[in-house]
Amino acid sequence: MLSRLQSIVFALGFILRAAPALALGFWGLLFLRALVPAAVVLAVGQLAAAAAAGDGAALARWGGVWLGALLAERLLGPLAGMVEGNLNEQLTARVNLALMEKMNAFEGLEPFENAEFYERVERLRREASYAPMNLSIFLGQVLLAGLTALPLLALVARWGWVYPPALLLSTLPYALAGVRLQRLVWETVVGTSPEARRMDYATGVALSPELAAETRLFASGGFWTRFYERNFRVLHARGRAVRRREVAVSGVYFLPSALGLGWTFWSVLKGGVGVGGVVEVTAALQRLQAELVLLVDALGMLERSLYYMDELRAFLKTKPRIAGGRLRLEPGPPEMVFEDVSFSYPDGRAALERVSLRLEPGVLSALVGENGAGKTTLVKLLLRYYDPSEGRILVDGVDLRELDLAAWRRRVSVVFQSFGRYALSLEENVRIADLDSQAPIEPALTQAGAAELARKLPAGPATLLGKAFGGTELSGGEWQKVALARAFYRKADLLVFDEPTAALDPRSEAALFGRFAELARGRTALLVSHRLASVRGAGRIFVFKSGRLVESGGHDELLARGGEYAELWRLQSERYN
């Protein structure tokens, strides 16, 4: 009970914060609408009594009340609907913004490795388009039905104080069953969340323009259809079972409510009421029964919406594991030192083992090794997306965990293997690297070899990119040049290129590395690649194998040593000879 009360308080507070004026206005309109049905019932009963008595003045008076109540009902309904629609939009936007803001608060990547956390985020995101709106709608229905029932119960109490409690108690079993049913519905949603995600994934693959060629080549469309159907059958079976229970609950638990209503009606009639009384009690019980049913159904649906808000509240309370310190270092190319660093991912995969190395300030260093050797993991630790399982990372002699994280990351520019392809204009795709800068993007485009691309686009740098909103789609190599321009646009002290030329042709790759070497002068730079020809000009090369640093040195030195680097060089050279 306390937990549900806390959920209601959280939900009401969330609605008020989303749109305080609209929320208060909406609730005020609900209160006014709630008075109308009782006024109509009372007026009808008094009109019948006045007609039986031949009282013309009373007929006129109560006729005016009846007409005024009907007009109020017609006017207040559309007005409340308009306010509710505006409130729903504000609330849905507030929930989505809260999700985005909270996700932005997670400085590290560990939450994305947690399956339970990811399921919760996907569930919240998937239902964000309608769950907050349902909360507002069903909360409004509960308030309206409850407030409407109160004056109607007061009218029934005129015929005997025992009748209102009897009617409420007869409705209680139906209400409790409805709440329990909605709990089962939510548990079904949570339980079938993996199936729903798999269905979304299958649809995405089948409809993806990026995967269209491969899907047709391998004739895998039928596979994804069957994949969808298999998961749909599981989800649908659970949903069907819940709906069967819903019908059974409605039939069985509605019986006590009907008995309570019938007993009240006949008891009042036996009391010897006049014509007006018969009309009034009949109308009151008919409208009261409708409002109580609506109240119970809305309570059940509100319970379902509150489960969503419980999930949202739990998510918003989640504490990030990565938290920045307060120290800020002087600008300039930093010295990076890894001291006996080991790291395992949350799922137990060991990625690095007792790695010690030094990235010298103002020097171009390189990490090489086969795929899965731990190179990208080291970059993630350098950016503090994770903390080492053992050992420490020093920046100019200071533990990375003590630094102001936002300030540290502003000093770093990276081109990741999986870089962003944003459905924005070319200019916005570049500027997103440094939103505070007003510098022109043309130098960065030139450095990335993307100046010609910008000239070819229909509206130049203002051209919208990507298919999401009908923009111009680029090739893989062109997108990579945009990502490189983004990295160059940020004036960073530390440059990191993680496999930056995977989608570039050899000529573009050679030109890029020449420009990168020039840009790296006076900065600390790190180049990550499995193509050894790309890194031969690096001041120091670190060779990784199975998560361990096995050797380091210059290109010629490593070849003369005849170790892992020399073996990889021989294998790659044979490939091109």
Neighbour tally for 270: CB within 10 Å: 8
Q: Rounded to whole angstroms, how far apart are CA atoms 470 and 406?
A: 34
Inter-residue contact 196 to 235 (CB < 8 Å) = yes
Q: Rounded to whole angstroms, how far apart are CA atoms 451 and 442?
A: 7
Alpha-carbon separation of residue 21 from 16, 28, 79, 84 (angstroms):
8, 11, 15, 12
Alpha-carbon separation of residue 368 from 26, 516, 558 (angstroms):
63, 17, 12
Closest of 71, 44, 46 to residue 57, by C-alpha: 46
How much is the pLDDT for 281? Answer: 61
> What's the pLDDT tens digit per position in 48-106?
777 777 777 887 888 788 788 888 888 888 888 888 888 888 888 888 888 888 888 88
Residue 343, SS3 per DSSP: strand
> What's the pLDDT tens digit per position in 4-28?
778 778 888 888 888 899 988 888 8
* Amino acid identity for residue 255 in this structure: L
Q: 212-245 burial by CB neighbour count: b if 16+ within 10 A, else e?
A: eeebeeeeeeeebeebbeebbebbeebeeeeeee
N-to-C CA span, the chain = 76
Residue 412, SS3 per DSSP: strand
2-11, Cβ contacts within 8 angstroms, sequence gap of 24 or more: 4/306, 7/306, 7/309, 7/310, 7/313, 8/306, 10/309, 10/313, 11/135, 11/139, 11/305, 11/306, 11/309
Please give the domain boundaries of the chain with CATH numbers for all domains. Answer: 2-317 (1.20.1560.10), 336-576 (3.40.50.300)
How much is the pLDDT for 137? Answer: 78
The DSSP secondary structure of 102-164, one letter per residue, reads: HHHH--SSHHHH-HHHHHHHHHHHHHTTTHHHHHHHHHHHHHHHHHHHHHHHHHHHTT-TTHH
* Token duo for residue 67: 């007409």
Place of tokens 């204009």: 425
Altogether, the residues listed in the chain come to a count of: 577
Beta strands at 494-498 and 540-545: parallel, antiparallel or unpaired:
unpaired
Alpha-carbon separation of residue 484 from 123, 220, 367, 440, 515 (angstroms):
34, 34, 19, 15, 11
CA atoms within 13 A on the CB side of 405: 16
* Amino acid identity for residue 3 in this structure: S
* Token duo for residue 388: 């080492």
Closest of 308, 311, 301, 313 to residue 139, by C-alpha: 301
- 403 forms beta bridges with 327
Q: Rounded to whole angstroms, how far apart are CA atoms 542 and 25?
A: 66
Cα 66 from chain centroid (whole Å): 49
Q: 249-268 burial by CB neighbour count: b if 16+ within 10 A, else e?
A: beeebbeebeebbeebbeeb
Q: Which helix (H) or strand (E) holds 369?
A: strand 364-369
Please list the pLDDT of the chain residue by residue as tens digits (577 residues): 567 778 778 888 888 888 899 988 888 888 888 778 777 777 777 777 777 777 778 878 887 887 888 888 888 888 888 888 888 888 888 888 888 888 888 888 877 777 778 778 878 887 777 777 777 777 777 787 777 777 777 776 776 666 666 666 666 666 666 666 666 665 665 555 677 778 888 888 887 777 777 776 677 888 888 888 888 888 778 777 766 766 666 555 555 556 555 655 555 555 555 555 555 666 666 676 677 777 777 777 777 778 888 888 888 888 888 888 889 988 889 999 999 999 998 778 889 999 999 999 888 899 998 888 888 899 999 999 999 999 999 999 999 999 999 899 999 998 888 888 899 999 999 999 998 889 999 999 998 889 999 999 999 999 999 888 889 999 888 888 898 899 889 888 998 988 766 656 667 666 667 777 777 777 898 988 877 877 888 889 999 999 999 999 999 999 999 999 999 888 887 765 5
Closest of 283, 27, 34, 268 to residue 149, by C-alpha: 34
Q: Rounded to whole angstroms, how far apart are CA atoms 107 and 401?
A: 12
Neighbour tally for 375: CB within 10 Å: 25
Q: Rounded to whole angstroms, how far apart are CA atoms 425 and 98?
A: 26
> What DSSP state is assigned to residue 335?
P
Q: Which helix (H) or strand (E) holds 395?
A: strand 390-395
> What DSSP state is assigned to residue 465?
B
- Does this model's pTM top 0.85? My answer is no
Q: Rounded to whole angstroms, how far apart are CA atoms 385 and 108?
A: 4
Inter-residue contact 164 to 150 (CB < 8 Å) = no
Closest of 338, 360, 342 to residue 350, by C-alpha: 342
The DSSP secondary structure of 233-275, one letter per residue, reads: HHHHHHHHHHHHHHHHHHHHHHHHHHHHHHHHHHHHHHT---H
Cα angle: 377, vertex 393, 353; to 5 degrees: 50
Place of tokens 């350098």: 382
Q: Rounded to whole angstroms, how far apart are CA atoms 42 and 95?
A: 42
The DSSP secondary structure of 57-84, one letter per residue, reads: HHHHHHHHHHHHHHHHHHHHHHHHHHHH
How much is the pLDDT for 342? Answer: 95
